[in-house]
Structure 1
C-alpha cells in the first residue's frame, strides 16, 4: 500500500463522476467517490417540494456537474445545499450554486470558511497538477443560512436534520440525518478502509481533536443508522461508525501508552503497530499527524 502524495503529477484527476450515481433509498441518491482521492461521496436527498445536495466536490467544474445532476433529479423542485465541513473537496464547488440553491451550514463551519478557507485554497493550489487545475477560478463560498446546533430542513414529506457535532475532524463538523430512510452522512468524521484523516498542520491549523473526535464517534455509533455514507469510501451499515471509533481509540491508546518517549519514536512505533493491524488500509500518511495531535492533547490534558 503506497502513500498519497498530493504533489505527484500523476495523481488522478479529482473528478466527480455522476454516471456512477445510485439510489440507496427512495428519492435518495449517492454519487460515490469510487476510491478517487479528493473526491467525496455526494448525496442528493429529495422530498415532495425540495431537494438537498450534500457536498459539491472540488472546484467549479465539479460543482457545475453536481448542480446540473441535482437539477435534473429535482425536476423543478427547490434546491438546497449543505456541506459537512469546510475542506476544499467538500465545499469549494459551492459558488456555482449561488442563486440556484440555498446554502446552509452551522456557525462553526461558517467561521472556518471565513477564517481558514483562503488559506486552504492556497495550500491546495500549491499541490499543483490536477488539484490546482480544479481550483482555477474558485472563490471561498459564503453560506446563505447559518444555524447553531441543529437545523431541521423540511423538503416536503421528508425532514432532514443538519446537526453540528462539535469539534472533531474540524471545529465545524456537521452530520446530515435522513431519519425516515435511516441514512447518515458523516463527512470526514468517518471513512471506510483508511486511517482517520487528521488535518494537523501546526501552526496554521490545530483544530482537529482526537479526544473530542472519539467522543463524537461514541455518540454517532450509539445512534445506529441503517446506512452510513462516509466522507470517502464505500457506503455501508452502522459497523462503519464502530470501526472508526475503535480505530481512534487504538490510535489514542497506542500513542498515550508511549507518552514518555520522543514524538518521533512514538510516531514510528505507532505507525508500525497500526499498519500491521490494518495492512490493507489507505491513508498511512495520516498516522503521523494523528499521533502528533494526540501527543499535544495528552500534554494539554495532563
Structure 2
C-alpha cells in the first residue's frame, strides 16, 4: 500500500514549549516541528529562524513579548529552507541575517523550495496566503560575524557544510549556549535532501568543540545540559552515518535507488523509525545520499514535480 505523500497526512497541532535555557535565552519548540531561538540582550532581541509564515511567526513574537518588551532587532536565518524563513516579514524593522551561501541558494532555488515545502507539509504553512514572497537577507557574511545586543555578543558562524551548504550557528559566549539550526536534531529525523553528508559529521565535530552548556536544535526538545548537548550531537551523527553508509553500500553493489532505499530502511527503521518526520524524510534522504555516493556534490534542486515523481518511485 502506498504511503501518503510526505507529511500531507500530518494535521495534528503540536504543543508549544517556551523554555529558558540560559540567562535571557529561550527555546521555542513544538514536539518535532521547526524550532526558533530567542536571544535577549541589553537593548534588543535576536530571533533565530523565523517560522514558515508571518501568522505562525506571531506565535513566537507573542511569547517573546511575555518575557521582554525590548525590540526584535535581528532575525537570523540558519539556512534557506522555506519552513525556516518565510515568516520573516512578521518581524517589522528587523534586519535579516544569513550567510552569503544561504543568499546564493535562495537565488538559485528559493522559489522551487517554497513550492516544494508547501506541497509536502501543508500544516506547517498555516495561513500560507500571508507570505508576501521569498525572504531576502538584508545583511550577509562569508564565514563569521558578531552582533552586539548592547554588551551581549552573538557570534554567528559558518562552521562547515551539513544540512545545507550555507548553515550557520549562533553562539552566545557569555552563557556558552548554541543555536544550531538543523545541523542538530533531537529525536527527530534529519532532513538530508539538500545535505552534504560527507561534510556534516566534521561540522558536528566542530560544533562539539564548543562544549556548550545548552543547545537549541532545529527540531526536538531544547538540550539544556552539557550531557544532553553531547547526546544530541552524537544522535545526529549516528543517524547520518547509518544513512550515508547504507547508501554507499548500495552504490558499491550496483543497486538501484529503489533497492538502496529498501536496504537503507531495513537498517534504519529499528533505531530511528519512531523519530518525528522520519517517514517524510527518508525518500528524500536516500535520494540525496545515493546521489552523493555517486559523486554528485551539489544537491539537485527539489521541485514540487520532482518530489512527487521520487515519492511514487520509492514509496509507490
Shift of 1:176: 1.0
Distance 2:39 2:122 in 1: 33
- Helix, strand or coil: the match of 1:177? strand
> How far has the Cα of 1:300 moved from its partner?
1.4
Unmatched 5+ stretches in structure 2: 297-316
Q: Which secondary structure does the structure 2 equivalent of 1:32 belong to?
A: strand
Q: Which segments of 5 or more consecutive residues in structure 1 lack a partner in the other structure?
A: 200-206
Once the two structures are TM-superposed, the CA of residue 91 in structure 1 deviates from its matched residue by: 0.9
Q: Does 1:247 align with 2:248?
A: no
1:257 aligned counterpart, secondary structure = helix
Tell me which residue corresponds to 2:265: 271
Correspondences of 1:5-44 after superposition (within 5 Å):
5-8=6-9, 11-13=11-13, 17=16, 20-35=17-32, 39-44=33-38
Given the alignment, which residue of 265, 279, 293 partners 1:284? 279
Once the 2 structures are TM-superposed, how far is the Cα of residue 268 of structure 1 from its aligned partner?
0.8
Q: What does residue 203 of structure 1 align with?
A: none
Any conservation in 2 of the 1:218–1:245 contact (CA below 8 Å)?
no
Q: Offset at 1:132? A: 5.1
Q: How many residues align?
A: 286
How many Å separate the matches in 1 of 2:253 and 2:207? 32
RMSD of equivalent CA atoms: 2.6
Deviation at 1:183, TM superposition (A): 1.3
Matched, 1:86 2:80: yes
Larger CA deviation: 155-164 vs 289-298: 289-298
In 2 relative to 1, CA 255–192 (structure 1 residues): closer, same or farther, beyond 3 Å? same
**TM-score relative to the length of structure 1:** 0.84
Check whether the contact 2:7–2:280 (CA below 8 A) recurs between aligned residues: no
In the alignment, does 2:218 pair up with 1:231? yes
Looking at structure 2, the residues matched to 30 and 213 of structure 1 have their Cα atoms a distance apart, in angstroms, of 23
Query: Is residue 41 of structure 2 the alignment partner of residue 47 of structure 1?
Result: yes
CA distance in 2, matches of 1:292, 1:128: 19
Q: Residues 280 and 25 of structure 1: is their aligned pair in 2 closer, same or farther, counting only changes over 3 Å?
A: same
Q: Deviations over 1:237-256 (max 9, x none)?
A: 22211221122123222332
Q: Which one scores higher on RCO, CA 8 angstroms, separation ≥ 6?
A: 2
2:110 to 106, 110, 117: 117
Q: Deviations over 1:269-289 (max 9, x none)?
A: 121111123343231332333
Given that 2:79 and 2:164 are in contact with CA atoms closer than 8 Å, whether structure 1 keeps it comes out as yes
